[in-house]
Amino acid sequence: MEDFSADTWQYKGSSVVFDRQAIGRLLESARHVSLRTALSWLHGAPSPPAPRSSILVSGLETLIQLLPPQSAHDFLLHRIRPLIIRLQNSWECGLIFGFAAPSQAFVEDPLSDEVLYQIRAQHQVRLSEGLWDGNAAVTMKRIVREASSQNREETLGYYVPRLS
């Protein structure tokens, strides 16, 4: 999986972001909506936001944690992925799903480049497969920034420029 440090993820495509500092900046600049509001856009979206804007969606993490792993995966596949596709075909903005979980909750499978989300002991949800399908592993990028004190990169989340 390729590392990506540009800020394009904020204005284009879809992403999952779990870094508190990045989410804090988005709370100041992005349009913040609940998962319920975002899902209502499947049945009639409001007027599009300004080009190169960001929409921060909260609530997906909670839903994933409450559902059994297979139900959570099915929800991603049948409700969230269609939302991503609809919005990317209609709007020119970044759709960002904010998570409060620590980075350790996101596990990268080195063989498949899939991102798994650890929800409970021994339970994982196939996050990247559910959101972006298996083909997106080719285009999925790890959002990083250079850590100031340790002179290493920190992972902020994951980004896919476009689903087809």
Each residue's pLDDT tens digit, 88-106: 888 888 899 999 998 889 9
Confidence of residue 14 (pLDDT cuts 50, 70, 90): very high
pLDDT computed for residue 148 by the predictor: 65
How far CA 157 is from CA of 47, 80, 140, in Å, comes to: 28, 17, 10
Residue keyed to tokens 């620590």:
102
Choose between 84 and 1: higher pLDDT: 84
CA distance 104 to 134: 22
Q: What does the pLDDT look like over 28-78, one tens digit per residue?
A: 888 899 999 999 988 887 777 777 788 999 999 999 999 998 999 999 999
**Percentage of the chain lying above the pLDDT 70 cut:** 93
* CB proximity list for 27: less than 8 A, separation 6 or greater: 56
Q: Is residue 133 scored above 90 in pLDDT?
A: no
DSSP string, the chain: -EEE-SGGGGTSSEEEE--HHHHHHHHHHSEEEEHHHHHHGGG---SPPPTTEEEEEESHHHHHHHS-HHHHHHHIIIIIHHHHHHHHHH--EEEEEE--S-GGGEEEETTTTEEEEEEETTEEE-HHHHHHTGGGGGT-EEEEEE-TTTSSEEEEEEEES---
